[in-house]
Amino acid sequence: MSARLPVDVITGFLGAGKTTLLRRLLARPELAGAAVLVNEFGEIGLDHLLLERIDGDVVLLKSGCVCCTVRGDLKAALEALLGRRARGEIAFDRVAIETTGLADPTPVFATIAADAALKHRLRMGAVVCVVDALNGAATLDAHDVSLRQAAAADRIVVSKTDLAPPEACSALAARLRALNPVAELLLLDAETPPPALWLTGAGEGPPSRWRADTPAAEPGHDARAFLLEAEAPLDWARFGLWLSMLLNAHGDDILRLKGVVAIEGVAGPVAIQGVQRVVHAPEHLEAWPDGDARTRLVVIARTIDPERVRRSFRAFVGRAGTNAAAASA
């Protein structure tokens, strides 16, 4: 029997910086040869669109790793990847699973532990939890699942320390240490390279904290994802105003906002990333994901009626909008 491949799990609340950390880790030559499974929340994730598509749901990362978006069954996705590997269609020697920000990571272990065929070919590696230095404390207060994510981790990364005051970073680190004293803790900013060993090394066994009998739990979240679309390029100032008014009115309930936007007078797409009330610096992309040059924004929100947000977006940003439309969003 060939050696079982290690599976590392990257968890952390919506927008904490999971994809950013994974991309930075996978850029390291020691970690090339990974298959990455991105478990998007809802049916309309965009992470995989920002990558180069090679075949159906499988895309190729710049590092040479293969990446696949899981929309349903993790077991089926793992089996499909392993099948393709066995047929020589794709090559990888490790698996990294990025969970959705709203997921408790424990069902991932349970999926592998409970399945004889998967257990035969895969072994659990480390659970790495990313906690955002800006939003982490409030997220831990408000979302039980983020406590469960940090509690399940073998390694915790506090991300975005370049954006938060040092005392807030230290307080968050102390809280996380108290919550999960056995996890290794790393404070990371946008510049410092993360240590490659944060994913499981070739000969390394499973971290001692992992229990094969961890019960599978339902995520039990009450958020939903919906899509905002626009055919024509947007007026940047009008869009910015609409966004800030929306976040002002509903920032606590908008957990995540991300996507690509077409702006009047700007060649190529602009990527927008919002995490609760924080909107990150927009990023100019070279090409449209999927060749589709339309504005597409995914919003993950609690309690808000998606239709109301769509109406205000169309009215305010679309064409002849009014401030009143955004104010009523």
Ligand X SMILES: Nc1nc2c(ncn2[C@@H]2O[C@H](COP(=O)(O)OP(=O)(O)OP(=O)(O)O)[C@@H](O)[C@H]2O)c(=O)[nH]1
> Which residue ranges make up the site for ligand X (CB under 6 A)?
12, 14-20, 47, 101, 159-160, 162-163, 188-190, 256, 258, 273, 275, 280
Report the nearest approach of ligand X to the CB of residue 218 (Å).
Answer: 19
To the nearest whole angstrom, how small is the minimum distance from the Cβ of residue 201 to ligand X?
23
Q: Is the CB of 18 or the CB of 94 nearer to ligand X?
A: 18
Return the HEC string of 165-193.
CHHHHHHHHHHHHHHCCCCEEEECCCCCC
Strands 278-279 and 270-275: antiparallel
Q: How far is the CB of 189 from ligand X (least distance, A)?
A: 5
CB of 35 to ligand X, least distance (A): 17
Q: To the nearest whole angstrom, how small is the minimum distance from the Cβ of residue 135 to ligand X?
A: 10
Closest to ligand X by CB, 164 or 315: 164
Nearer CB in complex with ligand X: 41/92: 41
Tokens of 94: 């490790």
Closer by beta carbon to ligand X, 47 or else 235: 47
Q: Is the dihedral of CA 170, 176, 181, 185 positive or negative?
A: negative
Q: The tokens 């958020």 sit on which residue?
A: 223
Of 245, 248, 249, 262, nearest in space to 297 by CA = 262
Residue 323 three-state SS: helix
Q: Output DSSP code: residue 234.
A: B
Sign of the dihedral defined by the CA atoms of residues 109, 110, 113, 119, in that order: negative
Angle at 50 between CA 139 and CA 92, to 5 degrees: 95
Q: Which is nearer to ligand X, 14 or 304 (CB)?
A: 14
Pairing, β 283-284 against β 5-12: unpaired
Tell me whether residue 162 or residue 264 sits nearer to ligand X (CB atom): 162
> Judged by CB, which is closer to ligand X: 71, or 280?
280
**Strand runs labelled E in 25-93:** 34-39, 52-55, 58-60, 66-70
**Largest distance between two CA atoms of the chain:** 66
Q: From the CB of 312, what's the least distance to ligand X, in Å? A: 22
Q: To the nearest whole angstrom, how small is the minimum distance from the Cβ of residue 256 to ligand X? A: 5
Strand-by-strand arrangement of the 52-55 sheet: 52-55, 58-60, 66-70, 34-39, 94-98, 5-12, 122-132, 155-159, 184-187
